[in-house]
Chains A and B, each alone.
Chain A
Amino acid sequence: GENVEQHPSTLSVQEGDSAVIKCTYSDSASNYFPWYKQELGKRPQLIIDIRSNVGEKKDQRIAVTLNKTAKHFSLHITETQPEDSAVYFCAAQDWGKLQFGAGTQVVVTP
């Protein structure tokens, strides 16, 4: 089955700097890659997703890139703000189950 590895497990950034989270997956058949944000005590919520026919997708300060050859995808957050502090999960899916990474705790310090 699919195996998703996510790095780093924790990330501390200064407000205004960029944050990058990287994930690798094992199943070359995976074709859907969402990212979820989870604030403390809350439910995970989708922030951006990308499909295998696209190399990059952007939504305001958030962007995701996908390298299918290398089987890795990344989340980029620019101009970080305190409200970006949360746990971020990547995930990968073929036509079967959605497999999540272990999560990255992002802390944005003023």
Chain B
Amino acid sequence: NAGVTQTPKFQVLKTGQSMTLQCAQDMNHNSMYWYRQDPGMGLRLIYYSASEGTTDKGEVPNGYNVSRLNKREFSLRLESAAPSQTSVYFCASSEARAGNTIYFGEGSWLTVV
């Protein structure tokens, strides 16, 4: 039981390049999330998927797209990376949207130069 697994762990991109962060969970959770973490700003929600087949914007969705491929997988895509997207990205999942523990992946360190 690996929990939440995300790849890659580290990535350096040039401005304008695109990339996809992959995330999978093996806990049979319904809800999945993508957060970004910047110094002094806590964890900010980019997009979430309350259940398979649905996705919704979070607090900071601009510059990102997501795909809930199936119940297990939730990917985050940067179409044209910008230096402002340099951050640590965490995928997470929970059994349901409300009142349930959110389990985080190990994080992906992304640098855009």
Interface residue count for B (Cβ, 8 Å)?
20
Minimum CB–CB distance for A103 against chain B, Å:
5
How far does the alpha carbon of A100 sit from the alpha carbon of B60 in the complex, in Å? 13
Q: Of B18-26, B68-76, B77-85, B100-108, which binds chain A? A: B100-108
A63 within 8 A of B: no
Inter-subunit contact A43/B104 (CB<8 Å): yes
How far does the alpha carbon of A98 sit from the alpha carbon of B90 in the complex, in Å? 14
Inter-subunit contact B42/A98 (CB<8 Å): no
A9 within 8 A of B: yes
Instruction: Convert A82-100 into 0s and 1s, putting 1 for each residue whose CB lies closer than 8 angstroms to a CB of B.
Output: 0000000100011111101
Minimum CB–CB distance for A33 against chain B, Å:
10
Minimum CB–CB distance for A20 against chain B, Å:
19
With a cutoff of 8 Å between Cβ atoms, the chain A residues found around residue B59 in the complex are: 97
Inter-subunit contact B40/A44 (CB<8 Å): no
Minimum CB–CB distance for A48 against chain B, Å:
11
Inter-subunit contact A96/B101 (CB<8 Å): no
A51 within 8 A of B: yes
B2 within 8 A of A: no
Report which of B41, B42, B98, B105 forms a contact with A43, defined as CB distance below 8 A.
Answer: B105
With a cutoff of 8 Å between Cβ atoms, the chain A residues found around residue B103 in the complex are: 46
With a cutoff of 8 Å between Cβ atoms, the chain A residues found around residue B42 in the complex are: 6, 89, 100-103
How far does the alpha carbon of A94 sit from the alpha carbon of B97 in the complex, in Å? 10
Inter-subunit contact B104/A93 (CB<8 Å): no
Inter-subunit contact A44/B43 (CB<8 Å): yes
Report which of A42, A46, A95, A102 forms a contact with B97, defined as CB distance below 8 A.
Answer: A95
Minimum CB–CB distance for B113 against chain A, Å:
21
Inter-subunit contact A98/B106 (CB<8 Å): no
Q: Which residues of A contact B (CB under 8 A)?
A: 6, 9, 31-32, 34, 42-46, 49, 51, 89, 93-98, 100-103
Give me 9 other A-B pairs in contact (C-beta within 8 A), A89-B43, A95-B98 excluded.
A9-B40, A32-B99, A34-B101, A43-B106, A89-B42, A94-B98, A97-B48, A102-B41, A103-B40
Q: Which residues of B contact A (CB under 8 A)?
A: 40-45, 48, 58-59, 90, 97-99, 101-107
